[in-house]
Chains A and B, each alone.
Chain A
Amino acid sequence: MIISILYYLLTGYIALLIIWNLVKSKKWQEEILYIIILMPFLLRLFRLK
């Protein structure tokens, strides 16, 4: 249970890093990439998949 909670915290942290990179990015290709890779992290955080 504790390990599971830690993994959710880790997932949230990585999701924030991806969002931060998205905000700072200057290239549209990278922006699309960040949005795509962000999805599984958010789906897990929202407990949908």
Chain B
Amino acid sequence: MSTDKSSTTPSSKGTSFSLDTWALIVAMLLALAVRFDILKNVPW
């Protein structure tokens, strides 16, 4: 969950992303990688 302290992560240029936003960005990148077969047949 987004929180006051934990969620803001300043970058070197001063902009900030919350932990939730990072999770969203990485999830979307992974989804794109799977959709375009860059990541295939991920095992478990």
- A interacts with B: no
Question: Residues on B close to A: CB < 8 A?
Answer: none
**A contacts, CB < 8 Å to B:** none
